[in-house]
Amino acid sequence: MAIFEGAGVAIITPFKPNGDVNYEKMAELVEEQIAGGTDAIIVCGTTGESSTMTHEEDNDLIRFVCQQVNHRVPVIAGTGSNCTREAVKKSKDAEEAGADGLLLVTPYYNKATQNGLIKHFTEIAEAVSIPILLYHIPGRTGVTMKPETIVKLCREVPNIVGVKEASGNFSAIAEILHLGGEDVDVYSGNDDQIVPLLSLGGKGVISVLSNIAPRQTHDICENYFKGNVEKARQMQLEALPLINALFCEVNPIPVKAALNLMGKEAGPLRLPLTEMEPENQARLKKAMEDYGIL
């Protein structure tokens, strides 16, 4: 059984003006997501700025979110690292903190071979008992996982169950689903490709858009699953201008700007990320107005 089906939010991490994690605002965001129909909460991922958070901050935040959610929807914790030992520690701590699943990014910078990737993910998986999603995003990591590698891991390692696919390579994604069949749960990592990936047999999306439009993102998936394919297609296309604006600068710069425009007090970014350029913020504001969420 899949960890979740539908729209999971890759939730931002709100910071106070001094850069500390704002737990009060995080609780509010979690509640708004659940009220909006979000099917899972993915914490400490790329959108959550985990790359500039310490292991202690990650672990405290994962524990906090798990307690706040209290089993109402699955909580998936980002615990990947380019150091296998560090990823093992982070993953064990997240399991102990109450996470329902893990999201493991391919190890960046080292540029492991396919055999190295298999050994890396297998060692992490053997250290925990909760289900794991691989996270394939070669544009950020510089590492491409072959479809055969993903399928092998999902077939041979019991608790590796699927992949968040953010490569944008639909030929490779189709190959994963062709080779893997029911053994690989595939989630879109790109909000502009939800319906196309669902049409190939995907389980849903791990979404940035859901931070500001949880109900709409959930409904894209729900309509598709219920057979309302034309409605899902229309909703996907209607969201494209906003999705494009959310990625006109590197994620999560625009989505935090969007939340701040909505009065959600997401707070600042941590360096080296910087505030959105004025012309891009104007574009984002217009897209939000046109979409009806501002």
Active site residues: 135, 164
Cα dihedral across residues 226, 230, 234, 237: positive or negative: positive
Distance of CA 22 to the CA centre of its chain: 20
**Chain centre distance of CA 198:** 16
Q: Show the 3-state SS of 134-201.
A: EEECHHHHCCCCCHHHHHHHHHHCCCEEEEEECCCCHHHHHHHHHHHHHHCEEEECCHHHHHHHHHCC
Residue 19, SS3 per DSSP: coil
CB 176 within 8 A of CB 147: yes
User: By C-alpha distance, which of 157, 165, 159, 107 is closest to 131?
Assistant: 159
Which amino acid, 50? S
Contacts of 238 (CB under 8 A, 6+ apart): 291
Kindly calculate the radius of gyration of the chain based on its CA atoms and give it in whole angstroms: 18
Calculate the CA dihedral of residues 205, 28, 273, 39 and round it to 10 degrees.
Answer: -10
* Residue whose entry in the numeric block shows the structure tokens 């903190």: 97
CB 108 within 8 A of CB 141: yes
